[in-house]
Structure 1
Amino acid sequence: MSSRKERVELIRKIQDSRDSKVLVYFTGDRRPFSSQIAEDAVLPLYKHLLALKVAESNTERIDLFLYTRGGDVGVPWRIVTMIREFCSEFSVLIPYKAHSAGTMVALGADRIVMGKKAELSPIDPTLVRAVIGEATVPPPEISVEDVSSYISFMRERANITDQSALAQVVSQLASHLTPLTLGSVNRQYSHIRLVARKLLTSRKEKIEEGRIGSIIQALTEKMYSHGHAIGRMEATELGLPVDKPDENLETLIWNLYQEYERLLQLTEPIDPEELLTRENKEEYAIDSIPIAIVETIPKLDMFELNTLFRRKRQVPPNPQININMNLGLPPGIDPTKLPQNFQQIVQQLMGQIAQAIPQIVQQEIVRQSPIVGIEGRTFGGMWKEKTGETI
């Protein structure tokens, strides 16, 4: 199990190695509780930056130690500009995954320190898809670039160039997506490129306009799978300011990642079915599951949530419930002639039986109702300060 003392020591060694101050933002991806870059982390990050400024005499260089599978593409700009208010040089340390919105954060860094396992990814965003004539929970998602690619495919690959034919293609698309969704696609298409450009131009070392355009195009259009992993060699070829750590720093960065991996139990997914079977329960609650961390030497904050798993059963329309208690006194015994204390005992027994009947009925309904799935819900999620704790 990871401990704050061990993590702080690793953070301190990284700081000494790079003559910087380290701010950790780690969004876990333990199944089924994956967390993402989100607006609610901005305030905890700001408080850590304030704590660094008070606790440390020099914050000229800040390194953001980042692990994430992605998130809200509107948040990276807020994070980058906020961090730049506290330093003159901003770098990102990537031990493993910095996908999607995490890659956008890296675009705004002066240097991107990528270990051997480090991964960036394309930055094409997805939207919740409002569809016509159907509703699903959770709602389906659609890639913004998929819509653009569909039209490009019909025009370039299928050789449909006639305007009336293209209008029919768009009409078919509109029959499956609401006008509001199509409008959102257009806004996100422009927004992601605008934000990526602003992030790239926020760096201290300015880059050529042509390179900016090629980087944005590569990350939004030229990599045709959102799951494509961009290693440090490919990131360098794209024109990003990648640094390879020396062996000592590489080891420190990877060891710190492993501390968070253990703390958030990333390699130990929760299987609701196995859990309910093992506990022999119809529902099971787990409290205070940590899914994201913001940490510096002065402070520790964790995002925790609660969850409840419950078996879903298909209750038959007419369950057959037969309760035969076979209760009664032997023949020839008049209950009015029984001693008073015996009558009280009988009444107590009858009361216990009456209380047991609902449970028996419930058990019988459960027995007759086949399991059709497992549902889960999370609640009570919030950031909590854990600085004084030993976790």
Structure 2
Amino acid sequence: MDLLNLLWLFLIISSLVPLFRQKIIEADRLRLMRTIETKRGSRVIALIHRQESMSFLGFPVARYIDIQDSEQVLRAIKLTDPKLPIDIILHTPGGLVLAAEQIANALARHEGKVTVMVPHYAMSGGTMIALAADEILMDENAVLGPVDPQIGNFPAASILQVVAEKDRNRIDDETLILADISRKAIEQVKATIRRIASAHYPAEKAEFLAEELATGKWTHDYPITVDEARQLGLNVKTELPEEIYQLMNLYPQTQQRRPSVEYIPLPYPARPALPARKTKSE
């Protein structure tokens, strides 16, 4: 076999190995999800967004909540008996408002208990989905986020603030148009939160959540901790099943040339001690 054939063989193997590895990981995910379903008596839906490298060239693919996600989640809910509990695992920076609203509306209408599990973070649209749950299970260090709408590169609330503070005669037409869109977007998101949250919370609490989360009280990336979520009145608990962390390990981030975090992947019930040194007399 000459050098050229060896090169072609190497390229073929290099292109197939990541595919085989991905198929093995996907099979492991399904087995673990089935284990969680059997243990909890529920339908498990994972909405987990990572940057995954799918080809041997190593190009990462950024993920967020999109229409394809909403279509798949809606199909999963449709295939679930109305009285069967649903456990949805969320790990997402957010995404399209339309897609998040569709998922949240479908979960809010589900007759069986809906539990949202957040191992690390569920920001923006992820938080909107969490509001549709009967119960939110979070890691002690996990966070949610505000759901205030963003218009282009700017928060809708900030656009309205500029228009309110600046002389109207010195504001260009485009900014005024953006302000009109911002006003409508905030009202629409508030109405959505009220509708979704009212399925599990009193009307006054739903109104409070809409005002706190959709009006730009915080920056869009502000992390709402477990304690703050409870202060908002959300039904948050921290008894996250151990299998959720195991499942997250099956959604690896894109491998870098040098790992930025390293540790021995074993539980430490106590502080590890170094072995005693032997002296020469021993």
Instruction: State whether TM-score is above 0.5.
Output: yes
1:278-297 equivalences in 2 (<5 Å) = none
Tell me which amino acid in the other structure corresponds to 1:207.
Answer: P
Distance 1:151 1:194, change over 3 A: same
In the alignment of these two chains, the number of paired residues is 229
Query: Structure 2 residue aligned with 1:5, among 27, 35, 38?
Result: 27
Which residue is equivalent to 2:174? 177
Identical pairs, percent: 22
Q: CA RMSD in A?
A: 2.7
Which residue is equivalent to 2:159? 147
CA contact (8 A) 2:160 2:183 kept: no
User: Aligned equivalents of 2:49 and 2:237: distance in 1?
Assistant: 23
Which residue is equivalent to 2:64? 36
Distance 1:103 1:267, change over 3 A: farther
Tell me which amino acid in the other structure corresponds to 2:247.
Answer: L
- Is 2:234 aligned against 1:240? yes
CA contact (8 A) 2:191 2:210 kept: no
1:236-315 equivalences in 2 (<5 Å) = 236-245=230-239, 249=241, 251-260=242-251, 262=252, 265-266=253-254, 268=256
- Which sections of structure 2, spanning at least 5 residues, go unmatched? 1-20, 53-58, 258-282
Deviations 1:158-188 (A, max 9, x none): xxxxxxxxxx52333x327344322211111
Which residue is equivalent to 2:187? 190
Distance 1:224 1:46, change over 3 A: closer
Distance 1:85 1:222, change over 3 A: closer
CA contact (8 A) 2:131 2:193 kept: yes
User: Aligned equivalents of 1:233 and 1:113: distance in 2?
Assistant: 13
Cα deviation for residue 252 of structure 1 reads 1.4
- Is 2:138 aligned against 1:114? yes
User: Aligned equivalents of 1:28 and 1:191: distance in 2?
Assistant: 29
Cα deviation for residue 122 of structure 1 reads 1.0
Which residue is equivalent to 1:72? 96
User: Aligned equivalents of 1:267 and 1:219: distance in 2?
Assistant: 35
Q: Which has the larger radius of gyration?
A: 1
1:1-391 equivalences in 2 (<5 Å) = 3-29=25-51, 33-53=61-81, 60-84=84-108, 86-128=110-152, 141-150=153-162, 154=165, 169-172=167-170, 174-175=171-172, 177-203=174-200, 206-209=201-204, 211-221=205-215, 223-245=217-239, 249=241, 251-260=242-251, 262=252, 265-266=253-254, 268=256
Deviations 1:135-159 (A, max 9, x none): xxxxxx111011233356x4xxxxx
Distance 1:87 1:259, change over 3 A: farther
Tell me which amino acid in the other structure corresponds to 2:167.
Answer: V
Which residue is equivalent to 1:385? none
Cα deviation for residue 76 of structure 1 reads 2.4
Distance 1:242 1:266, change over 3 A: farther
Which residue is equivalent to 1:299? none
CA contact (8 A) 1:20 1:59 kept: no
- Which sections of structure 1, spanning at least 5 residues, go unmatched? 129-140, 155-167, 270-391
Secondary structure, in 3 states, of the residue corresponding to 2:145?
coil
Distance 1:3 1:32, change over 3 A: closer
CA contact (8 A) 1:21 1:59 kept: no
User: Aligned equivalents of 1:224 and 1:14: distance in 2?
Assistant: 35
Tell me which amino acid in the other structure corresponds to 1:257.
Answer: M
CA contact (8 A) 2:122 2:145 kept: yes
CA contact (8 A) 1:29 1:69 kept: no
Tell me which amino acid in the other structure corresponds to 2:62.
Answer: S
TM-score (norm 2): 0.71
CA contact (8 A) 1:62 1:87 kept: no
Secondary structure, in 3 states, of the residue corresponding to 2:219?
coil
TM-score (norm 1): 0.53
Secondary structure, in 3 states, of the residue corresponding to 2:250?
helix
User: Aligned equivalents of 1:107 and 1:7: distance in 2?
Assistant: 26
Cα deviation for residue 212 of structure 1 reads 2.5
User: Aligned equivalents of 1:267 and 1:98: distance in 2?
Assistant: 23
Secondary structure, in 3 states, of the residue corresponding to 1:259?
coil
User: Aligned equivalents of 1:65 and 1:32: distance in 2?
Assistant: 22
Larger relative contact order (C-alpha < 8 A, sep ≥ 6)?
A: 1
Distance 1:33 1:177, change over 3 A: farther
Tell me which amino acid in the other structure corresponds to 1:12.
Answer: R
Cα deviation for residue 217 of structure 1 reads 2.4
CA contact (8 A) 2:107 2:114 kept: yes
